[in-house]
Structure 1
């Protein structure tokens, strides 16, 4: 994983707050650190996480200051040495490459391998790395205080380009067949919507089940720790056209987790076609994701375009037993981005599918103002209605699909492909700048089978104001249908909009939802 952008405060959040060395139960002989070396299964990890939750939170130690003081370029100049990957000299279908601790990642985390000979540590070895002349290799004393900050995974299809990376707090990312990174996930979100009070749990240790020669997947275990909770995570990671992760998470709260967010996703949205008037950039669009997609417990598909708001904004979508949610980059045209450096048109989507019934709760979307593309300003997660309590562990499962394609088995209604906004009214007539025109393009599903003479309806509603000039029609050049309408807010501070295309009483498309606010344009 190339670290060349998105230097999140979150990645270094724990490092900013913690400056003291490891102590207490993590350093005691026979304490929790020794117990980590005895984990051989997910059940063992669950027992360890439960023990951790019963002890006060202790932050990990810091590596020597000459490594924490490195800047981005210096840190990136420490390369993996030839043969530095774990399993590099085997015929196994996976490789693992540790990240060196330093820069924004000052806390060493523990790595272990689980094999037929038991659980063995992946000890820090400076010989795994190639140090530039200006950053001398650590001496023996420094080596004892150094460690790994995370890891990358490679599969048999390409041992040079990684398919997944875990680095910083509880953040991780993966790619699809395009081998392009973009949005991120986290193990857990805590108090994200309580601005200034967010807590960033850390993955304190990882365990890798040594894969067999014919394995299509690799199993990774992770111990999560924070002031409020501990957790045991199991990732079954399989690569292909999409990278699929089956996740089981057991959460053991230290305190009441009122602000918990399950399966959190983090992304970036700077500007796009629905807010082009705010752009001062040669690139028409700049974003890792352009919308939130949801499939409700009732089976309704919903699309919510992302925004770069003028002020922090929280949107909630109540549901029962959700079938899935995620952030997507639907616009795949290079001409719409014109970025030949980071190629936003290749960014992966991330789709979350709950395993089992998640009960009542809500999808919560947090959008923050941003003026630079290196800042991740979008977070989405599931917030359960029942608040996890101490001594009441919660176990959830979900599947994560990373890539440009949704799982083939999912139904495919007409999808929103673009949202455009501008001044309402008709050219040539007097136009009120307060009246806004919305144009929504749909493609896919059964739309291609219907034409101008078919009784397709645009169904539009608003929470305030007046919706006028509603129309829809097929657009041959788009290979789909276009819906448009005007909104007169009639003095309202904001208007929640809903729209979809209908045919003979049934929905043809997913439901488009949008919150208009005059401050956002």
Structure 2
């Protein structure tokens, strides 16, 4: 992602004026997913793909391959000689009828300007792997081509539920059969005042274990590190989540200033709280609307996303983190009015560490965008332990792609969630604003902990705002909405000592809601 200064684009050293943080290799190809029906169904190709002789394969073999690769200098990948340049040709090769690999995997072709680098693919069966050495039978009409990535099809072969394409990017369709945000294998130097590094998955080993179960191994390579990855991927029944259990072994070629584990990339242009960013007729446009964090101490945190005027980074202590993710809590169609991109169906992505990750922080990086085709949000976990050349690091986690809110606490007294927020002029509605310098922040909370409480229950809003910044505060139940409370704060931004403030509902010393971390600077 773009650094603070000097600004750099998605590719190392590319100015943002030429290329901002877009959806990388996904930007053109994945846009074609909605256009599948536009391409004619062609006859099954007669040419058969060719495979090398089988070789033993296991997790331990892959780890040793990554370790050995880290001991050698990094070799920059070359553009495939078969990379196609025509947009329509890419679509036909990708979405026209062609033979599947291993029953339920179809290929993305290499394409100039989007995904020019070929990846190696292997099929795994009974502890042996066969490398795909000629993919002509796997593209429309048996045409010559090199795979840049792949997608995993549903049992009926009518759509796909998971895709890997470009650098270490991948994503799943979630419980409402809709793509949205992306995950990455690793983040290197994201949000720093220098070029971000984008290691790539250069080889995959695919093991089909059923119609909705696939195990994927991948080899990562980049200037600063190599890695072995295992993804155990399951698509639930209709309406259920997609889960991926991830195992990672990294090997460092050189020191890394900021190593981001379990990174996610998303898009936020505007929502109901920021009408100034709105140029489009649609009321809201975003893949995710907030970052949720469940800290090791048990605190629940919610950070509403924003489209800032300058690059911004939040670093939140997350020692022994229990979970975090970029979520799409708002799933009401009428809030978006988009019957093509279906932002109301975009999945949330929740990360659950397997084992104790130790001391560290969850980082949220945001950069300006003026279009929905540009990913401008990233989130990841950074260990307090530095990544040094010659060292290695192992960790595991689970990814859950779902339209249910995975951050919800359960139980009768579970903490309430922030389900809506707005901003506007300070003061009483309809009156002349008390000061042009102040802004009103409004937060709505819902949850079991608030049910049955009234204005006489002693519920208050707690903030870390100093007295000179907080002009007015109120907390009260929303009329006619059981278990829904509203907090209103009139704030003088110039008197807030940091770029954001915290607010939550409490009753006496008992916290009733998650803590919202709200930015105050544009």
TM-score, length of structure 1 as denominator length: 0.85
Structure-2 change in CA distance of 1:229 and 1:495 (3 Å): closer
Q: 2:172 — aligned with what?
A: 174
Partner Cα separation in structure 1 for residue 407 and residue 399 of structure 2: 14
8 Å CA contact 2:269, 2:277 repeated in 1: no
Partner Cα separation in structure 1 for residue 465 and residue 54 of structure 2: 58
SS of equivalent to 1:273: coil
Partner Cα separation in structure 1 for residue 508 and residue 170 of structure 2: 45
8 Å CA contact 2:501, 2:518 repeated in 1: yes
1:223-262 correspondence to structure 2 within 5 Å? 223-240=219-236, 241-262=240-261
8 Å CA contact 2:94, 2:107 repeated in 1: no
2:141 corresponds to 1:125: no
Structure-2 change in CA distance of 1:10 and 1:86 (3 Å): closer
Q: 2:17 — aligned with what?
A: none
Partner Cα separation in structure 1 for residue 62 and residue 53 of structure 2: 8
SS of equivalent to 2:64: helix
2:504 corresponds to 1:500: yes
- How much does 1:35 deviate? 12
- How much does 1:165 deviate? 0.4
8 Å CA contact 2:57, 2:127 repeated in 1: no
Q: 2:203 — aligned with what?
A: 205
Higher mean displacement: 181-190 or 447-456: 447-456
Structure-2 change in CA distance of 1:255 and 1:79 (3 Å): closer
Q: 1:29 — aligned with what?
A: none
1:58-457 correspondence to structure 2 within 5 Å? 58-64=75-81, 67-71=83-87, 73-80=88-95, 82=97, 84-88=99-103, 95-103=104-112, 104-116=114-126, 118-130=128-140, 138=143, 143=144, 146-156=145-155, 158-211=156-209, 217-240=213-236, 241-407=240-406, 410-411=409-410, 412-426=414-428, 427-457=430-460
- How much does 1:81 deviate? 5.0
Partner Cα separation in structure 1 for residue 168 and residue 68 of structure 2: 20
Structure-2 change in CA distance of 1:332 and 1:12 (3 Å): closer
Higher mean displacement: 489-498 or 229-238: 489-498
Q: 1:515 — aligned with what?
A: 519
**Residues 320-354 of structure 1, C-alpha deviations (whole Å, 9 max, x = no match):** 11111100111111111111110111100000011
Structure-2 change in CA distance of 1:216 and 1:152 (3 Å): closer
2:73 corresponds to 1:56: yes
- How much does 1:477 deviate? 4.6
Partner Cα separation in structure 2 for residue 454 and residue 296 of structure 1: 28
Partner Cα separation in structure 2 for residue 294 and residue 105 of structure 1: 33
**Residues 26-83 of structure 1, C-alpha deviations (whole Å, 9 max, x = no match):** xxxxxxxx99974511111000000110111112332226x34233x44213244545
- How much does 1:128 deviate? 2.1
8 Å CA contact 2:101, 2:138 repeated in 1: no
Structure-2 change in CA distance of 1:413 and 1:450 (3 Å): same
Partner Cα separation in structure 2 for residue 410 and residue 502 of structure 1: 16
Stretches of structure 2 that go unaligned for 5 or more consecutive residues are: 1-19, 28-50
**Residues 454-473 of structure 1, C-alpha deviations (whole Å, 9 max, x = no match):** 22221122268421321111
Structure-2 change in CA distance of 1:314 and 1:464 (3 Å): farther
Stretches of structure 1 that go unaligned for 5 or more consecutive residues are: 1-5, 14-33, 89-94, 132-136
Partner Cα separation in structure 2 for residue 200 and residue 35 of structure 1: 30
Q: Of 469, 474, 482, which aligns to 1:471? A: 474
Higher mean displacement: 492-501 or 194-203: 492-501
- How much does 1:107 deviate? 1.0
- How much does 1:209 deviate? 2.2
- How much does 1:491 deviate? 4.9
8 Å CA contact 1:464, 1:496 repeated in 2: no
Higher mean displacement: 334-343 or 113-122: 113-122
Partner Cα separation in structure 1 for residue 493 and residue 427 of structure 2: 13
- How much does 1:197 deviate? 0.8
Partner Cα separation in structure 1 for residue 276 and residue 349 of structure 2: 28
SS of equivalent to 2:65: helix
Q: 1:46 — aligned with what?
A: 63
TM-score, length of structure 2 as denominator length: 0.85
SS of equivalent to 2:389: coil
**Residues 433-464 of structure 1, C-alpha deviations (whole Å, 9 max, x = no match):** 21111100111232223233322221122268
Q: RMSD value over aligned CA atoms?
A: 2.5
- How much does 1:274 deviate? 1.9
Structure-2 change in CA distance of 1:407 and 1:35 (3 Å): farther
Structure-2 change in CA distance of 1:331 and 1:223 (3 Å): same
Partner Cα separation in structure 1 for residue 254 and residue 194 of structure 2: 19
Partner Cα separation in structure 2 for residue 350 and residue 9 of structure 1: 17
